[in-house]
């Protein structure tokens, strides 16, 4: 993509009400624009990141055996009355009356909706177990939206729901999602720590939040340093294997949020040098709630013995749009964003230092076209901005690799490659520049 054709409305200064670094950087880098309170437009570069995150989640959830479907944003109030949560949800639920005076709402979550669907279609134990997921916009009418897309009203969420015949089988589904989450966050280069959590309005007796450590987090967390050294399961994970041991490894070391904190326990269980007290950002939450929704909503099936029993379920959420901000909180420096490769809006930035020079143009065009053929996504700064502006812009938007082409270096038959994160630079011979980049998958 040539920058002259792109739409990248950078801001020199972030607005004063942008309190946290991710919000400031997303505005400065032209990723989002506020549309109204707590509601955002995703500009081209912001959307590109959102799509990368979505794809990682989709691929990993699919690998774990979950089936993708898509439920609508607008739900009927009827199913919420059936589950008993219609009144409970309070003012955070955006309630709507349609032209026929029917009570509707903008879905804040989908337990009722999926349970209603499953109770219609799944009648036999042969169709069980199943895990469904969807990636859909949700709305929660926060009283005071803040921190940009971190705590907004309209947000993109991945939510999955499992349906099993027994509690044991249900816990295996829970473990599948737990392990899938470890892998998802790892792929985004996030240290997400699972922590025992209160179940809150979702309900149930087993629940873990996945929290990344960040100074700007909203809640305090207390963890054992050992957790930061654990490795997420790698690509040859088999989700049909017993996953209990993996989950145990990740849930045994001390890790709790403020609301479950007990100082004595922390001090007794964790050595002084391993105690970490920091702030955290919740990026995922898994719940196991058994038959809480299945029972009132009639999601029951006949088991092998002919007995009709309610299904056993859990739900599993990831804040997709929030992750864009969370990743920036974890990956930035004083010059701007430093994207992990897996979610970067472009693979490479190509900087033409002197577009008025024909030789420089020719070389840039060649590099641009050749690397696009190798399937790299490239943002090519072909503008007539000053050199300083070009450098600071590319540092701000944080593409991992910069290729810098100017009249001086090409005179020596070389171009520069810079690593945005480490600032490591090397001069590469023009004839070898393309060999630096293998064909992308």
Nearer to a copy of itself, 110 or 257 (CB): 110
Smallest gap from Cβ 370 to a copy of itself, in A, equals: 19
Nearer to a copy of itself, 118 or 184 (CB): 118
Nearer to a copy of itself, 2 or 275 (CB): 2
**Could you give phi then psi for residue 355, rounded to 5 degrees?**
-65, -15
Pairing of the two strands 130-139 and 308-310: unpaired
Identify the residue among 63, 86, 96, 169 touching a copy of itself (CB under 8 A). Answer: 96
Check: CB of residue 3 under 8 Å from CB of residue 381. Answer: yes
The answer to whether 69 contacts a copy of itself (rule: CB under 8 A) is yes
Check: CB of residue 142 under 8 Å from CB of residue 151. Answer: yes
**Could you give phi then psi for residue 440, rounded to 5 degrees?**
-85, 150
The count of C-alpha atoms lying within 13 angstroms of the C-alpha of 186, restricted to the half-sphere facing its C-beta, is: 16
The answer to whether 341 contacts a copy of itself (rule: CB under 8 A) is no
Q: Which of the residues 116 through 135 are near a copy of itself (CB under 8 A)?
A: 117, 120-121, 127, 130, 132
The answer to whether 159 contacts a copy of itself (rule: CB under 8 A) is no
Give per-residue burial for 247-258: e unless 16+ CB within 10 Å, then b: beebeebbbbbe
The answer to whether 252 contacts a copy of itself (rule: CB under 8 A) is no
The answer to whether 272 contacts a copy of itself (rule: CB under 8 A) is no
Quick note: the x/- pattern for a copy of itself over 28-67, rule CB under 8 A, is -----x-xxx-xxxxxx-xx--x--------------x-x
Size of the site for a copy of itself (CB under 8 A): 51
Q: Which stretch binds a copy of itself (CB under 8 A): 80-88, 98-106, 194-202, 225-233?
A: 98-106
Quick note: the x/- pattern for a copy of itself over 409-438, rule CB under 8 A, is ------------------------------
Q: d(Cα 40, Cα 155) in Å, to the nearest integer?
A: 9
Q: d(Cα 50, Cα 302) in Å, to the nearest integer?
A: 42
The answer to whether 289 contacts a copy of itself (rule: CB under 8 A) is no
- CA dist 107 to 7, 24, 95, 201, 318, Å? 32, 29, 9, 14, 15
Contacts of 272 (CB under 8 A, 6+ apart): none
Nearest to 400 by CA among 343, 329, 334, 319: 343
The answer to whether 241 contacts a copy of itself (rule: CB under 8 A) is no
Check: CB of residue 213 under 8 Å from CB of residue 277. Answer: no
Nearest to 257 by CA among 332, 193, 166: 193
Q: d(Cα 348, Cα 371) in Å, to the nearest integer?
A: 9
Smallest gap from Cβ 322 to a copy of itself, in A, equals: 15
Q: Which stretch binds a copy of itself (CB under 8 A): 68-76, 279-287, 339-347, 354-362?
A: 68-76
The answer to whether 94 contacts a copy of itself (rule: CB under 8 A) is yes
Identify the residue among 99, 263, 304, 411 touching a copy of itself (CB under 8 A). Answer: 99
Other C-beta atoms closer than 10 Å to the C-beta of 228 total: 13
Binding interface with a copy of itself (CB under 8 A) = 5-7, 9, 33, 35-37, 39-44, 46-47, 50, 65, 67-76, 78, 91-92, 94, 96, 98-99, 102, 104, 106, 113, 117, 120-121, 127, 130, 132, 137, 139, 141, 143, 153-154
């Amino acid at each position: 993509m040539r920058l002259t054709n792109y739409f990248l409305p950078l801001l020199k200064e972030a607005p004063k009400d942008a309190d946290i670094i991710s919000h400031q950087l997303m505005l400065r880098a032209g990723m989002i624009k506020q549309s109204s309170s707590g509601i955002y437009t995703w500009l081209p570069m912001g959307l590109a990141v959102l799509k990368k995150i979505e794809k990682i989640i989709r691929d990993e959830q699919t690998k774990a055996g979950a089936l993708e479907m898509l439920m609508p944003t607008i739900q009927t109030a009827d199913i919420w009355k059936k589950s008993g949560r219609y009144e409970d949800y309070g003012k955070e639920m955006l309630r709507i009356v349609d032209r026929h005076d029917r009570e509707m709402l903008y879905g804040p979550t989908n337990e009722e909706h999926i349970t209603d669907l499953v109770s219609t279609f799944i009648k036999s134990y042969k169709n069980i177990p199943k895990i469904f997921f969807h990636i859909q916009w949700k709305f929660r009418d926060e009283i005071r939206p803040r921190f940009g897309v971190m705590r907004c009203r309209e947000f993109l969420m991945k939510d999955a729901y499992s349906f099993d015949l027994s509690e044991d089988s249900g816990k295996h589904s829970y473990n599948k999602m737990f392990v899938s989450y470890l892998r998802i966050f790892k792929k985004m280069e996030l240290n997400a720590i699972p922590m025992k959590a209160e179940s809150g309005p979702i309900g149930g007796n087993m629940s873990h939040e996945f929290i990344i450590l960040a100074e700007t987090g909203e809640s305090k967390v207390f963890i054992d340093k050992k957790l930061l050294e654990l490795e997420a399961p790698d690509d040859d994970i088999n989700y049909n294997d017993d996953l209990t041991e993996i989950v145990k490894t990740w849930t045994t070391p001390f890790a709790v949020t403020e609301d479950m904190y007990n100082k004595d326990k922390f001090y007794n269980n964790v050595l002084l040098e391993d105690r970490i007290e920091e702030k955290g950002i919740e990026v995922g939450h898994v719940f196991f709630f058994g038959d809480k929704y299945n029972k009132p909503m009639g999601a029951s099936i006949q088991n092998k013995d002919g007995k009709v029993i309610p299904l056993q379920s859990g739900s599993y959420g990831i804040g997709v749009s929030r992750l864009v901000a969370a990743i920036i909180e974890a990956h930035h420096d004083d010059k701007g964003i430093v994207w992990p490769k897996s979610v970067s809006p472009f693979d490479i930035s190509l900087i033409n230092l002197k577009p008025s020079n024909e030789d420089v143009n020719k070389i840039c065009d060649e590099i641009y076209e050749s690397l696009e053929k190798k399937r790299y996504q490239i943002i090519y700064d072909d503008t007539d901005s000053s050199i300083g502006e070009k450098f600071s812009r590319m540092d701000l938007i944080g593409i991992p690799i910069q290729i810098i082409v100017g009249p001086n270096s090409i005179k020596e038959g070389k171009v520069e490659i810079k690593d945005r994160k480490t600032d490591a630079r090397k001069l590469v011979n023009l004839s070898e520049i393309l060999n630096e980049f293998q064909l992308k998958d």
